[in-house]
Amino acid sequence: MPSYKYFLIIAMTVSFNTQAWEEGYVYNNEVKIAYRDYGPSDGDPILLVQGLGGQLINWPDHLIDFLIENGFRPIVFDNRDTGLSSRINSARFEEANRSKTINSTYIRYFLRLPINPPYNLDDMANDSIAILDHLSINQSHLLGMSMGGMIAQIIAANHPDRIKTFTLIASSTATPSPLNGPTRDVRKLLMKRSNNPNASMDERIERSKKIFTLIGLEGYNLETEDFYNKSVESIKRAGPDDTGFTRQIMAILGSKNRIKKVKSIKSKTLIIHGKDDPLIKVKNAYKANKLIKNSQLIVLPGMRHMIEPPVFNRFKEDLLNHLSD
């Protein structure tokens, strides 16, 4: 059986943000979530939700800078099991057997058998709300990318009174499958992350470079000092425990069907998707547009799964109009 394990990925940045910010932690019960508030305090809040394995530092600087320059207050965070946030221990989950664990999870998923992950996407959505509560923010714009888009769908559905607008980028309303998930070449590269958790720093950077070459803008230069430094920062910040990547996949597969939730979203929604996305096929965007009544869809030819500066420049004014209306 083919393994469609790694279908959501972070939006990697290739430059350094120079803005000041405040960082801290918030607790959702016993789970510690690391967040960064870029400010300014009187800016219009926008909560950004990352994808699979994504850290708060992986949001592109050109996106953060654009939001700040236009009067917004970006708030980003490490999802549970990534970066400086809590690692979620599970008695059923052992490092030595994680390949077996995820494979058995997929078998159960395809056979429609019960899956009992350590946590689910609803739990991750509650982490986000805990941040807004901690910062005393009653209403915020919401932007989710990739797996973060899945989490954000639940936030928008469960807490409509907290959300001003919703932006969904390169995401899906259903669990990725052979029909709407990653291409074979992308799957093969992403699987190496799980199969070789003890890779050296340089090996991990080269692996990331190959992945981003496949899922990012064609011909985009990654042979830069900025890309290398940001990759090193991400790896060091995450520490040696990379098991959360797999637990997040289990959370996706073990979460309840959210089609009804997505249909219930009332927030004004902007859906952005790359026509050539090899990780989450564009048909997912058309489905989201159909399910969310108050939504606008932008499909960008040439865009894959990343929001590099040339890609961002093509939709940033649409994003600003959406957030400002």
pLDDT tens per residue across span 157-169: 999 999 999 999 9
Rounded to an integer, what distance in angstroms lies between the CA atom of residue 92 and that of residue 104? 12
Structural domain boundaries of the chain? Answer: 22-324
For the whole model, what pTM was predicted? 0.87
Q: Is 83 exposed, middle or buried (0-12, 13-18, 19+ CB in 10 A)?
A: buried
Superfamily of domain 22-324: Alpha/Beta hydrolase fold, catalytic domain (3.40.50.1820)
Dihedral, CA of residue 50, residue 82, residue 12 and residue 3, to nearest 10:
-90
- Look up tokens 């936030």; give the residue: 155
Q: What is the pLDDT of residues 234-243, one digit of tens each?
A: 888 887 777 7
Query: For the CA atoms of the chain, what is the radius of gyration?
Result: 18
Residue 15 has pLDDT above 50, yes or no: no
Give 11's pLDDT tier (boundaries 50, 70, 90): very low
Give 2's pLDDT tier (boundaries 50, 70, 90): very low
Q: Is 298 exposed, middle or buried (0-12, 13-18, 19+ CB in 10 A)?
A: middle
Rounded to an integer, what distance in angstroms lies between the CA atom of residue 166 and that of residue 322? 9
Check residue 232 and report its DSSP letter.
H
Check residue 160 and report its DSSP letter.
G
Q: How far out from the chain centre does Cα 83 lie?
A: 13
Rounded to an integer, what distance in angstroms lies between the CA atom of residue 61 and that of residue 79? 19
CB 34 within 8 A of CB 84: yes
pLDDT computed for residue 8 by the predictor: 45
- Look up tokens 């850290």; give the residue: 55
Q: How far is CA 280 from CA 163, 271, 311, in A?
A: 25, 13, 17
- Which residue did the predictor score with more confidence, 228 or 301? 301
- Which of these, 156, 163, 125, lies nearest to 141 by C-alpha position? 163
- Which residue did the predictor score with more confidence, 139 or 113? 139
- Which of these, 253, 204, 270, 291, lies nearest to 52 by C-alpha position? 253
Q: Tell me the three state secondary structure of residue 26.
A: strand
Rounded to an integer, what distance in angstroms lies between the CA atom of residue 86 and that of residue 80? 6
Q: Tell me the three state secondary structure of residue 140.
A: strand
Q: Tell me the three state secondary structure of residue 262.
A: helix
Rounded to an integer, what distance in angstroms lies between the CA atom of residue 262 and that of residue 265? 5
* Ranges assigned E (strand) in the chain: 22-28, 31-37, 44-49, 72-77, 140-145, 163-169, 268-274, 295-300
Q: What is the pLDDT of residues 56-91, one digit of tens each?
A: 999 999 999 999 999 999 999 999 999 999 998 754
